[in-house]
Structure 1
Amino acid sequence: MASDAVLWFGDEMSAVPLRNNKAAAASAVRTVTVLGATGSIGDSTMDLLRGARDRYQVEALTANSNVEGLAKLAKEFGARFAAIADPAKLSELKDALAGTRIECGAGESAIIEAAARPADWVMAAVSGAAGLKPALAAVDRGATVALANKECLVCAGDIFMERAKKAGACILPADSEHNALFQALASGNREELTRVIITASGGPFRTWAPADIEQATLEQALKHPNWSMGQKITIDSASMMNKGLEVIEASYLFALAPDEIDVLVHPQSIIHGMVEFSDRSVVAQLGTPDMRIPIAHCLGWPDRVVGPSAKLDLAKIGQLTFEAPDFQRFPGLRLAYEALRLGHGATTVYNAANEIAVAAFIAGKIKFGAIARLVEATMNDWIRSGNQPPLHSADDAISVDHIARNRAAALLPQIALKAT
């Protein structure tokens, strides 16, 4: 991104561009790196790259543990570097890439190296807190970063955006909801903003009774009505923790106060985000529920690319409906607002405890309804400890993340026992 690119709202903390800066568009081939290439977001990104080989050159690809998938993609796209997060799989990756000129590595340092390599555009799609340091490596060299990892901002929002601004990096939101807000926000100025509205499908348990939600099985939680996503994010959608993470992310990404962010349940998942301005005009972004749409917007920015997604047929859909979110049935959303208002690492604790809780649910150690209870218990424990200093660095955020995970793990037997 050009150093003179317009920042959204002109806010000192924002590295999100406001309007398309056509002068910044590059006619040359754009080099790209995909962090998390074998996951659901990575798969959509690679599909888009596959349809525009003349415009993009792959610099580096990473994966968590899927050596076969990573090697296949690296060879298909002629990547210069491939990295696997699991250090025990380096030999396997080397064997899979034998006979090619593709460099490879393993472990956290190799993932960070992939992000630090000289690609113009980086998709940050490594899930969880593990994605923070690689994304920061891309940010620190001033790259354009398509951010699909919510945890980067939830765990270290102020730090992340400060470093992006300092390095002249451009942060493009790749989540469907934040990308929708990004597009709609270009219709006005900061002083004209009233609020932003993030939509939520409501997940598979939108109409369920509280007692039934409590006892929901893993199979039921993974049956999302609209989106095809990875296991963790699908469970988060079922609990609406995912929407809580999005509220926190929007606050840091666009420099918004909690009271400037609303959530609206929209079961059809056609409107992905709305922005209300002072004249009461509401600008919305619509599209079919396909992650390739927001990713394509980021990939082509400041231009638009031809995307493979289905055209939106509103006549066929027939109607769009809306509901207020139920904070009692889905307490994870309420806890996100509380964490955002508390600050001082509370959002980091919220995310860490949720990751522990979801892993426990997948392993059959707790019931679905206990996910939010474990998060709340961990947050309360953090508050009671009184150890809530401001976060000044990524290491501070990672330290809080580790502490919160340990506390959540320690509280897990107690929460599991209460649910029986």
Structure 2
Amino acid sequence: MKKNIAILGSTGSIGKTLFSIIKKNKKNFKIVLLSSNKNYKDLLKQAYFFNVKNLIITDHNSFNAVKSKKLKKKINIYNNFDDLNKILIKKIDYAMCSITGIAGLEPTCKIIKHTKKIAIANKEAIVCGWNIIKKELKKNKTKFIPVDSEHFSAWFGVKGFSNKEIDRIILTASGGPFLNYPVNKFKNINKKMALKHPNWKMGEKISIDSATMMNKVFEIIEARNIFDISYKKLSILVHPNSYVHSIINFKNGMTKLIIHDTNMLVPIQNTLLDDFKSTYITSKLDINRLNHLGLQKINFKKFPLVKILDNLPDISSLYETLIVSANDKLVNLFLNNQIDFLDIQKYLFKILNDKNFKKLKKIQPKTVNDIINLDNYLHTKITKLIYK
């Protein structure tokens, strides 16, 4: 029997990688829903190829553009995730949520009740709204699997073990384009240099986060949430060739290194398929890479933003939304050549140390709107703080 699946954010890199897996065995899957924000041209191509009957296009102009077209096939076009109740009458087998940014939080929460299994690639949703997501997962008995290579590998590594048996979970970081770049030349870093990641092909936003290592701050927060483990049991090691994705230290003296090739095919395919019985991808152990892991500690002079982790509470709070919003704003300013690379860390520390914002550490979000409203408020407030 075919598995019914939905892909939210299907025109992005995660969605496209998932399609490459599905294409190899179309007879096993039926895609019942796809979504995109503005990229309706690619969305329609996907819908035609996979014979998808339902599309959600959230951008109003793009939605209207499609509605005015004479489509080749009969397709239901929606503009809002509130329409999920009309589209998904019965629980589907699998949903991939890969809408980027805080905009992905609400769709992620809304689709949980409609699916038996959910794979979440939206970093911001897990960072800012995990306590809300967790309640929805429990309430609807929906299975969750993380998609990020580091979290998927750690999730795979700790299966069958309790937190009492785990001494430490270590996530690896490539070090990005500036691992070996002299710190006294960081003032000369420009957009082109910062976007040139040595190992991964990623979007502009996450490429800059990798260059500042802010992405690892987010990933440690994600790991704290996903594994319900103290920050004291989480750490980062720099690993330039990105072959080891996580390391699990157990209290019995044993250690696991979780390894897979430097691509997203492995974690994505294993969220889609049950019991890790995939025959889509096999790769031999790369002895050369294994013999040259080059693991090293973080240089905090180059990557001071990692120190943000030292002052985070061990509970979910609205402070995480502040971190995401402020970083988003600053990265956008850098990408638009409005601030320098070093200004990202300068202004981010200024914002996070503001006494008015520190109060957010004690406030837990209760609804998705708590997070969205704060994010909207912060985008205006942060601009004023930067240029104060």
The Cα shift of 1:408 comes to 1.8
Could you tell me which amino acid in structure 1 is paired with residue 320 of structure 2? Answer: T
Corresponding residue number in structure 2 for 1:379: 352
SS at match of 2:312: helix
Distance 1:97 1:217, change over 3 A: farther
Pairing partner for 1:207 from 168, 180, 184: 180
Question: Contact conserved, 1:139 with 1:164, CA < 8 A, in 2?
Answer: yes
The Cα shift of 1:145 comes to 0.8
Structure 2: gaps of 5 or more residues: none
The Cα shift of 1:44 comes to 0.7
Distance 1:92 1:158, change over 3 A: same
Could you tell me which amino acid in structure 1 is paired with residue 332 of structure 2? Answer: A
Question: Contact conserved, 2:92 with 2:114, CA < 8 A, in 1?
Answer: no
Corresponding residue number in structure 2 for 1:393: 367
SS at match of 2:382: helix
Query: Does 1:286 find its partner at 2:259?
Result: yes
Pairing partner for 2:275 from 298, 302, 305: 302
Distance 1:119 1:80, change over 3 A: farther
Distance 1:296 1:223, change over 3 A: same
CA distance in structure 2 between the partners assigned to 1:233 and 1:113 by the alignment: 34
The Cα shift of 1:268 comes to 0.7
Pairing partner for 2:104 from 131, 139, 145: 131
The Cα shift of 1:312 comes to 4.1
Corresponding residue number in structure 1 for 2:193: 220
The Cα shift of 1:135 comes to 0.3
Pairing partner for 2:159 from 179, 186, 190: 186
Identity %: 27
SS at match of 1:323: coil
1:249-398 to structure 2, matched below 5 A, reads: 249-308=222-281, 311-315=284-288, 318-341=291-314, 344-381=317-354, 383=356, 386=359, 388-398=362-372
The Cα shift of 1:282 comes to 0.9
Could you tell me which amino acid in structure 2 is paired with residue 218 of structure 1? Answer: K
Could you tell me which amino acid in structure 1 is paired with residue 382 of structure 2? Answer: A
CA distance in structure 2 between the partners assigned to 1:268 and 1:115 by the alignment: 42
Could you tell me which amino acid in structure 2 is paired with residue 393 of structure 1? Answer: T
- TM-score normalised to structure 1 length: 0.86
1:87-102 to structure 2, matched below 5 A, reads: 87-95=60-68, 98-102=71-75
Corresponding residue number in structure 1 for 2:25: 52
CA distance in structure 2 between the partners assigned to 1:116 and 1:333 by the alignment: 44
Corresponding residue number in structure 2 for 1:413: 387
- TM-score normalised to structure 2 length: 0.93
Moved more, 92-101 or 179-188: 92-101
Moved more, 379-388 or 331-340: 379-388
Moved more, 98-107 or 379-388: 379-388
Could you tell me which amino acid in structure 1 is paired with residue 343 of structure 2? Answer: A
The Cα shift of 1:91 comes to 2.8
Moved more, 393-402 or 164-173: 393-402
Question: Contact conserved, 1:197 with 1:264, CA < 8 A, in 2?
Answer: yes
Corresponding residue number in structure 2 for 1:43: 16
Structure 1: gaps of 5 or more residues: 1-27, 415-420
Question: Contact conserved, 2:88 with 2:114, CA < 8 A, in 1?
Answer: no
Could you tell me which amino acid in structure 2 is paired with residue 185 of structure 1? Answer: V
Distance 1:391 1:295, change over 3 A: same
Corresponding residue number in structure 2 for 1:235: 208
Could you tell me which amino acid in structure 2 is paired with residue 413 of structure 1? Answer: Y
Query: Does 1:86 find its partner at 2:56?
Result: no
Pairs aligned (count): 387
The Cα shift of 1:303 comes to 3.7
Deviations 1:179-236 (A, max 9, x none): 0001100253322110101001010011222332333111111111111111111111
Distance 1:285 1:231, change over 3 A: same
The Cα shift of 1:395 comes to 1.5
> RMSD over aligned Cα, in angstroms?
2.3
Could you tell me which amino acid in structure 2 is paired with residue 30 of structure 1? Answer: K
